[in-house]
Amino acid sequence: MSVGSKRTWRKKDLRRAVYAEARAIDDRRFDDWLMLFTEDLLYWMPLAFDQKEDDVHTALFFEDRLLMQVRVARLSSPRAFSQHPASHCQHVLQKPRVTRRDPEANVYETATPFVYLESQLDTQIVLGGVVHHQFVDDGGALKIRRKRIELINRDAALPSIQLFP
């Protein structure tokens, strides 16, 4: 590989990256998890079906790196009373489907059907849908630039989600 060239990531690399991201969340390794994203990240859960990526529409969340860092810091703060006791989660993922692999454009995308469980004391929430990851080669590392979570019931009244589906 010549200096400055990008690596061509294989399907199995992309699938491993999807699993590693979910595992970091489930293991509550939030600082490690945040390192899996690019500086220009977007973590987004649209409210409507076929919603476009912009800041004009209401979303369940639409977060950049700064907001993600604030959420991660809150989860580790002893002053985050909503986390006494701490919430725990588990991602159950189907095999990620690679939907785009374009090394020339440095864009790799996956779609992964999932079930997400989050629990705190005697309260448990269950969410299901498809998560879309957009990966890029960032200095020789595969990093997440975009993560879009499409819930099946995104138009329903949802409980407070403490962690990261």
| Region for 50 from its dihedrals, namely left if φ exceeds 0, alpha if ψ lies in -120 to 50, beta otherwise | left
Q: In CATH, what is the architecture of 11-151?
A: Roll (3.10)
Nearest-angstrom CA–CA distance, 131 and 127? 11
The per-residue pLDDT for range 110-152, each reduced to its tens digit, is: 999 999 999 999 999 999 999 999 999 999 999 999 999 999 9
Identify which of 37, 33, 69 has the alpha carbon closest to the alpha carbon of residue 142: 37
Q: Global pTM?
A: 0.91
d(CA 62, CA 41): 10
Share of the chain above pLDDT 70, in %: 95
CB environment 94-122: b (16+ within 10 A), e (fewer): eebebeebeeeeeebbbbbbbebbbbbee
pLDDT band, very low/low/confident/very high, at 56 (cuts 50, 70, 90): low
CA dihedral 33, 67, 112, 139 (to 10 degrees): -60
For 12, half-sphere exposure in the C-beta direction (CA atoms, 13 angstrom radius) is: 0
**Is pLDDT above 90 for 69?**
yes
pLDDT-above-90 percentage for the chain: 70
Phi-psi region of 104 (alpha: psi -120 to 50; beta: other; left: phi over 0): alpha
What is the distance between the alpha carbons of residues 6 and 143, in angstroms, rounded to a whole number? 13
Write the burial class of residue 157 (CB in 10 Å: 0-12 exposed, 13-18 middle, 19+ buried).
exposed
In this prediction, residue 64 carries a pLDDT of 95
